[in-house]
């Protein structure tokens, strides 16, 4: 389904990111992934992907450093070839009540979650425009779509992913580039590790399937949107939350 495609996954060493990388490689893609602190996990994942006969590039890249991201983009194109798909998966959260959020906390949440989204997209969309083809999949969050007990600055940043997706999809559609957003609910691992037992019970009560999701379930949706099977899906925010 994705044989010999070159795909970039930001934040590829986390629970959801690693599942996405595995899912893409299983469909034949060569993958470049970034990480911040998970070097050992990223390198283990790289070995796993290369054992499948796929090429895999791993790099520590600061999501807020435009020059570093441009350098990473050039390296990916040089070592793996033109990028067909970008998966903007990286993100960060911080568990703080609104009254205790400092200005620096607010700036950090919006910078990592939104500036990184902008910088990585800008770095890779240029080549897609030249080639007049490409796919971008952004990872949002149910926190940006529903009234939930989540940190306000995180919810704000994730809500903005939807606006970014819609606007960018409209602008680049003329070049044959599709842009969509995947909106996970509570997923095991990742930010889901910050959820208390009380919050988990409340989620399960309001979720029609009565459970949190698995990273592999999110990955399956991302893989589908990255493929030509989703060629008529554009500018959509697709929830995968078990029915909230």
Catalytically active residues are: 154
d(CA 13, CA 159): 23
The CA distances from residue 118 to 44, 124, 177, in Å, are 28, 10, 16
Query: Do 221 and 140 meet the contact criterion of CB atoms below 8 Å apart?
Result: no
The token pair at 240 is 């995968």
Long-range pairs of 188-192 with CB within 8 A, sequence gap ≥ 24: 188/15, 188/212, 188/213, 188/214, 188/215, 189/14, 189/15, 189/16, 189/215, 190/14, 190/15, 190/16, 190/215, 191/91, 191/93, 191/141, 192/15
């Amino acid at each position: 389904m994705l044989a010999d495609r070159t795909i970039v996954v930001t934040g590829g060493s986390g629970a959801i990111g690693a599942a996405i990388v595995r899912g893409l490689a299983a469909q034949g893609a060569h993958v470049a992934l970034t990480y911040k602190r998970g070097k050992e996990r990223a390198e283990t994942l790289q070995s796993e992907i290369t054992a499948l006969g796929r090429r895999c590039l791993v790099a520590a890249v600061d999501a807020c450093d435009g020059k570093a991201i441009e350098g990473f983009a050039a390296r990916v194109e040089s070592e793996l070839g033109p990028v067909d798909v970008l998966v903007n998966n990286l993100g960060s959260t911080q568990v703080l009540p609104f009254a205790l959020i400092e200005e620096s906390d607010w700036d950090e949440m919006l910078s990592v979650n939104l500036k990184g989204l902008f910088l990585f997209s800008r770095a890779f969309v240029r080549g897609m425009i030249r080639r007049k083809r490409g796919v971008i999949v952004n990872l949002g969050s149910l926190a940006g779509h529903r009234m939930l007990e989540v940190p306000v600055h995180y919810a704000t940043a994730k809500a903005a992913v939807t606006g970014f997706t819609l606007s960018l999809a409209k602008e680049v559609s003329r070049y044959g580039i599709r842009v969509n957003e995947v909106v996970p609910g509570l997923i095991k691992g990742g930010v889901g590790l910050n959820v208390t037992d009380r919050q988990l019970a409340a989620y399960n009560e309001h979720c029609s399937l009565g459970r949190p999701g698995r990273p592999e379930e999110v990955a399956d949706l991302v893989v589908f949107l990255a493929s030509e099977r989703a060629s008529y899906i554009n500018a959509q925010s697709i929830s995968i939350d078990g029915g909230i």
